[in-house]
Structure 1
Amino acid sequence: MQKEDLAPHVKEISQVLNGSIDDDQIMNELKTFLEVYRVSLETAKRSIIRKYGGNPALLSGGQRKRIGELTANEQRVDLLVKVVSVNKKEIEMDGTYKPILYGIFADESGTASFTAWDADRFNFDRGDVLLIRNAYTKEWNGQPQINLGNRAIVERQDATSVNFSDIELPYFAETKQVKIAELQEGMNNVTVTGRILSVEKRIVETPDGSKTVYSGVMADATGKTQFSAWHNFELKQNDVVTVKGAYVRGWRGIPQLNFGERAEVSKFSGTFPSMIELSQPVLRTIVDLERIGGGIDILVKGVIVDVRDGSGLIFRCPTCKRVIQRNLCRIHGAVEPLPDLRIKAVVDDGESVLTAIMNRKITESLVGITLDEAMKKAKEMMTPEIVKEEIESKLIAQPVEISGNVTKDEYGLMMIVGSARIALPDVKAEATTLLSELEGIS
C-alpha cells in the first residue's frame, strides 16, 4: 500500500494511542507488519496498538450506515456524508469555554444535524465529502443527531469519486408557523406564538448529568400546550413570545413543545388574547383529539352512552391508592381499605368516543349522592353494585360538558375530568337559532 493510502490508518492508530507515538514511527511499523510479516491491515493495526499498551477494541470497526438508517443512542457508527452547512461557536463546559462545530450532514438517504465537540480537531467546510469513523448518535429535536467526540476520525474524500454530486439535497425552508391546536408529536422546526400562562425552573437528571429546564404552559386562541425550554430565555408569566425552531415530543399522546439554545425566542408585540381569556378550556371534537393525540385543558361536549365496570363505590389501598378487591392490595397485602367514588363513563360527541374518569367530588355533584350515602346503600343492599346502577340510571343518555387533560394509549382516548356538568339544552335559544337559519334560507 502507498503511504497516502496508509495515512488514515496511521491517524486512527495515533488516535487510539492518544498521540503518544510519533506518526512516522507508526507508519514505519505499519509497513513492517504489512510488507515483512505479510499480515492483514487490521491485524497490523491491532498489533501496533497492543505493543504500545493501547486497547485494540477502540479501533473504529464501526457499523457503516446511511443517515436514513440512524437511530438515537448508537455507538461507533461509520458514515460517508456531504457537509451541507457548518458553523462554529463557543460553549461553556465545566466553567471553561471551548469551540464546537455544528451543522447538517447529508447523504443519498437523508440529512441529520451534527455536533463536533472539539472544533480544533476537525477541519472541514461546506461542500466537503467526509468519511467519518467512530461517530455516535443522540436524540435532539426528536431526531438522531450525529456527534463527533474524541474518538471520531474524519477524512476528506475526493468529491468526484462518489456520487454525491447527483444527490438532490433537501431544501431547508423557513420554520413552519403553526397554531398550538395543530401541534403533533414528531413535528420539528416549528414556529409558535403564545402567551406564557405559567413557568417554573426545575433541575432534571439526564444521561449527560443535571440540567436546568424551564417548564410551564403556553396558550393561544386555539388551545394550550405544556412546554420545556432547555435554555434560559428569561420567560415570564404573561409574556407573549414567538418561539422559532421548536420541536414536539409526546407524553401519553399529549403534544409538548420543546426548544433549546438554538431556538430563537422573541417578544410578540401584536394584539393577543388576555390571560383570562386563554385560561378557559378550549372546545375540541373527539376526532380532532384522536388526530393530534391528546391535549391539556380540553372541553368536550357529548352524551354519556355507557358507565363502565369499576364505577361507583370502590375501595383503595391507603398507602398506594390503588383500587383493591377483598381488602387485598397486590403491593401491600392485606390492608384497611379506603372507600371512594368514581365514574368511568363513555362519552360520545356524535363522531367518536372517549373514556372520562371522574373523581369523588364530580361523582357526588353529577349523581347527587355522597360517599356516606353510597356506603349506606351498599350496606343495606349488601352489594356495592347498587351504587353503579344508580349512576347508570341517572347519567346514561344525559348530555354533558366535561373538561380536563386528554391522553391516548392503545385503548384509545381518556380524559381525567377536572370539571363536569349536565348540559341541559336551552330550548328557547336553540329554537331562535333554528328560526334565524330558516329565515336566512328563505
Structure 2
Amino acid sequence: MNDKYAPHLEELAKALDGIEHDDIKNELDKLLKFRVPLEEAKRTVLNKFNSKEGPEIKIKDISQAPKSFTLKGRIISVEKKSFVLKGETVNLYSGKIADETGVCFFTAWNDFCLKEGDIIRVHNAYMKQWNNRPELNFGQRSLVEKLPEDPSIPRNEQLFTQSKKILEINSSDMLVSSQGIVTEMYHRNVKIKGKDTIIVEGVIADETGKLPFTSWIPMDEVDIGSAISFKAAQVRLFRGIPSLNFAHETSWEVLPENKYPFSNMDLISDEPIPIPIASVLEKDGIFDVVVTGNIISVRPGSGIIERCPVCNRVIQNNVCRAHGNVAGIKDMRIKAILDDGTGAVYIMLNKELSETVFGRSMGEAEEIMKASLSKDAVYESMKRYLVGTYLTVRGNSSKSEFGTTIVARSAWIPEDDLLPRLEYLLLKLPEDGL
C-alpha cells in the first residue's frame, strides 16, 4: 500500500480499536486495488468491522442521542485551540456544525483537517453536555468522511433563528430574535487583537423577564429606555444563564413608542415581582429572578468560613485545593433551602446579606464562635434563628446536577404580607375544617 494512505489507515485503526491492524490494511488495500474511491473504501471497511456503530441521527435529536451515533452535517465554523495537559500541549478543534434540522457546537479531539463549509459524516460520535448545552464530540474512535456538496444543508446558522420572548430564551437556542426595553446600558473599552474597541453592555427586558446583552456593533441611537427589535442575536451561556451577543450578523432597530405594547417606565422602574419557585426549576438558568418562601433548612458550610486569598475558594485548615497552604481570609455566608410550596431552591447569601438576614455582624458572629470555643457555633445559631423565616431573594439562578441555586444579589423579609398568606392558606383547607 502506498505511504500516502498511512494516515487513513491509522485513522481506521483508531476507530476500530481491537481489530487487527493487518486485517484492516488488507481490506482497505483490496478495495483500493479495485479503484473504489478512498472515502467509500474507508466507510466500507468501517461498516465491515464495526458492527456496533450507532444509528445516524439529526442535530435536532442530539440531546437524546445514544451512546454512539453517526451524524452528517456542514462545518459552519472551526477553530484550533491549545491547552496544557500533564505538561504536554494538546490541540483540539471546536466550532459549529449544522444540518437541515439545526445547529450545535462540536469538539474534535483529533485533527481531521476540517474546514469551514465541509460536508462531513462522523461515525462513532458521542454527545456531551457542556454548560447545559448538548455538544457533538468525536475523537480517537471516530471516523470522519468528507462528502460531496449537499445543497440541502444550510451554509449558515441564521436560518435557525427563532423569535421568542425574553424568558423563553434558553440553553438550547443558538440564535434568537426578540424585542424589549433597554433597562441598563454602559460602554466598556476592551482590547481585541491588540486594538482598543468599545463594546456596549447592558440589560434588555420585556414583560416576561430580563437578559444581559453585549454588543460588538455600534448602537449610537440606543439609550436607557429605548425599545429595540433585534434579529439573529447569538445566545451565550454562563453557568446555565443565557445572555445575548450582538455580533456583525445581528440586525436591530429602535421601535417607535406606539409600536411597543408595554410602557418603558414600567420595565425601567425595576419593581421586583416574585415568581413561583416551580417556574425557576423548569429553567436551566434565569437572570435576575425574585422568589419568596420559607427557609426550611440552613445547610452545612454556613457561618464563619475562610477563603483562599488568590482564588477565593473556601478552604479548610488553611489549605486550598489549587494553591496549597495559604493564609485564609475570614468571611461569612448563608447556604439555605427556600421553599414556597411549589418547589425548593438552594440560596447563597454573601457576607453583607448574611449580616442583614442573620441580624448579626461578622464581628458579633466571631464573638459567638470565641465564646463557645466551637467553629460550628455560628452555624448552629443560624439554624436556630433562621429556619422558618419568610424571605424574599433576588439574584441569578443556575441548575447543576445538585439542583437549582440562586446566588442572591439582595434579600429581605417581606412586610405586611402575613394576612394575605393566612387567607391563602385558609382557602386551601377543606370546608369541614381540620
Q: TM-score range by the shorter chain?
A: 0.5 to 0.7
Show CA shifts across 1:73-123 (max 9, x none). xxxx99799xxxxxxxxxxxxxxxxxxxxxxx998x64679xxxxxxxxxx
Counterpart of 2:291 in structure 1 is 300
Counterpart of 1:314 in structure 2 is 305
The one-letter amino acid paired with 2:164 is: V
Give distance in 2, aligned partners of 1:368 and 1:408. Answer: 29
- After superposition, the CA RMSD in angstroms is 4.8
The one-letter amino acid paired with 1:273 is: S
How far did residue 296 of structure 1 move? 1.8
Equivalent residues of 2:189, 2:196 under 8 A apart: no
Q: Quick check: 1:267 aligned with 2:254?
A: yes
How far did residue 405 of structure 1 move? 1.3
- SS at 1:384's partner residue? coil
Give distance in 2, aligned partners of 1:321 and 1:187. Answer: 32
Give distance in 2, aligned partners of 1:175 and 1:309. Answer: 44
Identify the match of residue 224 of structure 2 among 237, 242, 253. Answer: 237
Q: Give the number of aligned pairs.
A: 315
How far did residue 322 of structure 1 move? 2.1
Q: Which consecutive residues of structure 1, in runs of 5 or more, have no partner in the other structure? A: 1-37, 46-58, 72-76, 82-104, 114-131, 145-152, 437-442
The one-letter amino acid paired with 1:326 is: N
The one-letter amino acid paired with 1:336 is: A
Give distance in 2, aligned partners of 1:106 and 1:203. Answer: 31
After TM superposition, list the pairs within 5 Å mapping 1:355-394 onto structure 2.
Answer: 355-394=346-385
Distance 1:366 1:154, change over 3 A: closer
Give distance in 2, aligned partners of 1:143 and 1:251. Answer: 14
Equivalent residues of 2:73, 2:120 under 8 A apart: no
Distance 1:63 1:79, change over 3 A: farther
Distance 1:396 1:156, change over 3 A: closer
Give distance in 2, aligned partners of 1:296 and 1:419. Answer: 13
Counterpart of 1:352 in structure 2 is 343
Per the normalisation by structure 2, the TM-score is: 0.59
Per the normalisation by structure 1, the TM-score is: 0.58
- SS at 2:58's partner residue? helix
Give distance in 2, aligned partners of 1:60 and 1:233. Answer: 51
Counterpart of 1:291 in structure 2 is 282
Larger Rg: 1
Equivalent residues of 1:223, 1:282 under 8 A apart: no
Equivalent residues of 2:294, 2:391 under 8 A apart: yes
Give distance in 2, aligned partners of 1:229 and 1:63. Answer: 44
Equivalent residues of 1:186, 1:247 under 8 A apart: no
Distance 1:429 1:413, change over 3 A: closer
Counterpart of 2:332 in structure 1 is 341
Distance 1:334 1:111, change over 3 A: closer
Counterpart of 2:10 in structure 1 is none
After TM superposition, list the pairs within 5 Å mapping 1:3-18 onto structure 2.
Answer: none
Give distance in 2, aligned partners of 1:351 and 1:237. Answer: 35
Q: Which consecutive residues of structure 2, in runs of 5 or more, have no partner in the other structure? A: 1-31, 45-54, 63-69, 75-96, 105-115, 122-132, 136-145, 428-434
How far did residue 308 of structure 1 move? 0.5
Give distance in 2, aligned partners of 1:333 and 1:111. Answer: 46
Distance 1:345 1:133, change over 3 A: closer
